[in-house]
Amino acid sequence: MDISAILFFALVGSCAGVIAGTLGVGGGVIIVPALLFYFTAQGMDQAVAIKMAVATSLATIIFTSLSAILAQGKRKAILWPVVRSWTPYILAGAFFSGHIARLLPALALQLFIGCFLLYAAANMLRNWIPDPRRQLPGPAGTAGAGLFVGVVSGMAGIAGGNVIIPLLVASNVAMANAAATSITLALPIALAGSLGFVTAGWSVAALPEWSLGYIYLPALLGIATFTFLAVPLGVAISHRLPAAQLKRIFGILVLIVAVRILWQAVNP
């Protein structure tokens, strides 16, 4: 791995870490497109590149979420009852996401990721106020939400914030608490999703050296190191910005990434 690759991974990791700490996402909205660009620039087949970008992003989110949990825990912003009730369903959904993604063509996976992020951005940018009577879902709703979050996040290579935060905000959870809880739930998503992509790619022959299944270890090491260091800065920022501004920043960021992914899908 040359110095340009190291600097690229350091930049991606630093940006993803600040975004993760600020917005309660794992940084996958930055990492997946960046790695897709990197892998295709190296001449990697598009079908392999998209799966490796997603898998490696999930693996980096393990370290991102650990750093954020430590920082958010000190501020007592995490809703632990939500974490405990959603985690079993998220684990199941995220594990199977790797095997589902393996069966999808590269174009289908790119379109899925792009359209989903576009939907998430629209939800966050519109001036929508939830019904004040709405509360967190009951057992059946929790199971459905957890499975959905796990599958979608695992297939997209994200920490789930694009799904979890809108769901929690719709249930009248404050933005700061929603962001803190979201990044905590990113840990089971990342663990189960990474394991799913490792097992799904274990017998695939056309993978580069230093790969663990679909996870590219040099990128994991470089990005995760700088992400872990940058997350506390993002957490500090999140507790100083008003909720409306956080939502607007989050929505604009996701919209830009969604448009770029869809453009790449239709203009390979």
What's the number of CA atoms in the CB half-sphere (13 Å) around residue 188?
22
> What is the signed CA dihedral for 115, 193, 90, 16, rounded to 10 degrees?
-60
Angle between helices 175-201 and 139-156 (to 10 degrees): 60
- Sorted by where each begins, the domain ranges of the chain are 3-266
CB 59 within 8 Å of CB 190:
yes
Residues in CB range of 170: below 8 A, 6 or more apart: 130, 134
pLDDT number for residue 24: 66
Helix (H) or strand (E) holding 212: strand 211-212
pLDDT number for residue 104: 74
pLDDT in tens, the chain (268 residues): 688 899 999 999 998 888 777 776 667 778 888 999 899 998 888 888 988 998 999 899 898 888 888 877 777 888 999 999 999 998 888 888 777 777 777 778 778 778 877 877 787 787 655 555 667 778 888 898 888 888 887 777 776 777 788 788 878 888 778 888 988 898 988 888 898 889 888 888 888 889 999 999 999 999 999 988 888 888 788 778 776 777 787 778 778 878 877 887 787 6
pLDDT number for residue 234: 81
pLDDT number for residue 222: 94
pLDDT number for residue 80: 92
- Give the closest residue to 263 by CA, choosing from 114, 53, 85, 47: 114
Could you give the CA distance from residue 179 to residue 185 in angstroms, rounded to a whole number?
10
This prediction has a pTM of: 0.77
pLDDT number for residue 182: 86
What amino acid occupies position 41?
A
pLDDT number for residue 130: 55
